[in-house]
Structure 1
Amino acid sequence: MAQNTNTQALSDAGVSIWLDDLSRERMDSGSLQELIDTRNVVGVTTNPSIFQAAISGRSEYDADIARLAGEGKDVDGIVEVLTTDDVRRASDLFSGVHAASHGFDGRVSIEVDPRLAHETEKTIEQAEHLYEVVGRDNVMIKIPATEAGLPAITAVIGAGISVNVTLIFSVERYQAVIDAYLAGLEQAAKAGRDLSTIHSVASFFVSRVDSEIDARLEALGTEEATALRGQAGVANAQAAFGEYLDAFGGSRFEALKAQGANVQRALWASTGVKNTEYSDTMYVDNLVADPTVNTMPEKTLEAAADHGRAAEALNAEIAASAVALLERVAAVGVDLADVFAVLESEGVEKFEKAWNELLETVSSSVESTRA
């Protein structure tokens, strides 16, 4: 099968396309393999919402749920088996990509229990546990970029485990994430670990920023405010890439690079456009840079394949212009610090809600097997 021209162009420009979805049905049907073959998909990200959607109401998991319940596993244990089995299987599917890209791609991410988002030590413990359970070198453990998550990121990287840092909304928090990664690499180096085997991405959420800021701009109602709608999400991500350029072109990383360390790539997450007034590929076309990752839901991926048109590659000048736009947003009356605090809180709550719904679904399925 031939790759799509538009997705190939993104790949050639240094953008790794990861699918923001995973399910047993997608693997059984060959859908995931087809996206690998025709849409340049070189990785997968998952989260509690994705697993909740994959398992709830799907018959593919019923037999395993009944078997595991019969073996005496509790609901949490059953969910762990179902999710890690799917991630392990997907990891095997991407093993060739992982080897060919020297570990940069062919990655499959699985997130720590979202109920641990504010507990550092328990996050570290579960990250290490999930890594051992999945048992694949190309797995990435997702850790949220909460205040409690930052030291956990350092510890897990220091232990030699690759990490996908999730739920990043502000440039300031992104700076802290980069620092946590570099500190983890420094710990790993002191422990004598091979830095070349450690990889990380920093998942910077995009569309949710526009949704929150647009609502505030509309509430302000001035002509100057409403003229800024639909621009902050892209600008926020572009400004973050400026921080990437500074950090990974600086002396602190250069010392680690000399020991084999890899950059922590920016990953654009939440790239499905929520406002139908906007182009459905705006969070793909305007965030092209080498190297980056764009993790897309299938609808966005297909839109990019059909009519995506990549804009100029991100650079320091574009990043500076993006910072200026964010300053304009703040100047019209939007409290950006509050925006990012709200989005982080809501992000954690949404994942907790999805996880609890998944536990309830599996619990109901277990009860039905005993009826």
Structure 2
Amino acid sequence: MTDTASATTTPTAALSAAGVSIWLDDLSRELLDSGRLQELIDTRNVVGVTTNPTIFASALAKGEAYDAQVRELAAAGTDVTNAIFEITTADVQRACDVFRPIFDATAGYDGRVSIEVTPGAARDTQATITEAKALWAKVDRPNVMIKIPATKEGLPAITEAIAAGISVNVTLIFSLQRYAEVIAAYLTGLERAAEAGIDLSTIHSVASFFVSRVDTEIDKRLDAIGTDEAKALKSKAGIANARLAFQLFVEEMATERALSLQEKGANRQRPLWASTGVKSPDLPDTLYVVELTTHGVVNTMPGKTLEATFDHAEIHGDTVTGAYAEAKGTIDAIGSLGISIDEVTEQLENEGVDKFVVSWTELTETVTSALEGAK
């Protein structure tokens, strides 16, 4: 399909029309400088961006787009921690400005750019709160979202940030239990914001529920069991888990507590499907887009998945709300084989934090050597 295809005929346009906000899970200075980000907005229905330490580590490791700023920072004697802060927030500020028209046109619903607290803060409530406030103040754009991991230590930080009027992207959610705690943390934050006289309509939040990593881990365990029954359940857990998360979202946002906040102008905390690139070549490359289409969610996609979706995804409308019973049956069937979804999701949360620590270390090393080289 060509870029010039009618806006109403592309699969990304169909996905958008079905109520899914398409966000790009990528950001780099090259993407900004080249105009490619604006092009994706114009031709791929992209209405937001998410970033993480891995994305910034990758962006800084290649190309020369950051050289001038690195030289300036080196000349000023900036240490590596502050240099990373300056470099990443500069990209996010620019991306926020690119998306500002969408933010304005949708009254803050979309046009969002997310930036994450450092992985080292993931297990430290106070450090997370401090960093969230520092990032919010530094980027200084109403359409930024601060990403806070949904660890046990992250939950009170989510409440604190929301209570201060900061829009939050809660990341690294794998389990329904933790997701319920995230929703509760959001509602508590809104209640505190209301008490402080903050306009609740200005606070937005998404809850990033990870998909493909659930399949990767559970499929490994199903392969180890090796029976026909086990093999028949492969690559079904991630979608089932996400569909049950959407059911939980619908139920929790319709409680008396949530509705009373919405009557005061509060926004619903939308589910965001993250980790939507397939990890196995045996799977359709648009699997986690097509099978998780429903109104009122975000799907943040790596560039490769976005292009696959634009090129050949077949959007069939809502594939979530009628599938709760089937999803529960899938999770129960996996459990009956001795695979604990709770154990898997806890493992994945720990691995998620660890992976970002590794990426952050790479990022730190890249910037350290760049600063040294610029002196």
TM-score interval (norm. to shorter): over 0.9
Q: What are the equivalent positions in structure 2 for 1:1-371 lying under 5 Å apart?
A: 2-3=6-7, 5-314=10-319, 316-370=321-375
**Aligned partners of 1:333 and 1:312: how far apart in 2?**
34
Structure 2 letter corresponding to 1:5? T
Deviations 1:89-118 (A, max 9, x none): 000000000000000100000000111100
Structure 2 letter corresponding to 1:26? L
**Aligned partners of 1:239 and 1:19: how far apart in 2?**
24
Q: How many residues align?
A: 370
**Aligned partners of 1:238 and 1:312: how far apart in 2?**
14
Does structure 2 retain, via aligned residues, the 8 Å contact 1:240–1:319? no
**Aligned partners of 2:38 and 2:87: how far apart in 1?**
20
Structure 1 letter corresponding to 2:130? E
Deviations 1:105-141 (A, max 9, x none): 0000000011110000110011000000001000000
Deviation at 1:317, TM superposition (A): 3.9
Deviation at 1:58, TM superposition (A): 2.3
Structure 1 letter corresponding to 2:335? A
Deviation at 1:314, TM superposition (A): 4.7
**Aligned partners of 1:21 and 1:355: how far apart in 2?**
16
Q: Aligned with 1:166: secondary structure?
A: strand
TM-score (norm 1): 0.98
Deviation at 1:57, TM superposition (A): 3.0
Does structure 1 retain, via aligned residues, the 8 Å contact 2:125–2:153? yes
Deviations 1:189-244 (A, max 9, x none): 11111000000000000000000000000011111111100100100100100001
Does structure 1 retain, via aligned residues, the 8 Å contact 2:277–2:288? yes
What's the RMSD between the two structures over aligned residues?
A: 1.1
Does structure 1 retain, via aligned residues, the 8 Å contact 2:74–2:372? no
TM-score (norm 2): 0.97
Deviation at 1:369, TM superposition (A): 2.2
Q: Aligned with 1:243: secondary structure?
A: helix
Percent of pairs identical after alignment?
Answer: 55
Structure 2 letter corresponding to 1:193? I
Does structure 2 retain, via aligned residues, the 8 Å contact 1:245–1:316? no
Does structure 1 retain, via aligned residues, the 8 Å contact 2:292–2:320? no
Q: 1:36 to 1:312 in 2, by over 3 A?
A: closer
Unaligned stretches of 5+ residues in structure 2 = none
Q: Aligned with 1:186: secondary structure?
A: helix
Does structure 2 retain, via aligned residues, the 8 Å contact 1:6–1:306? yes
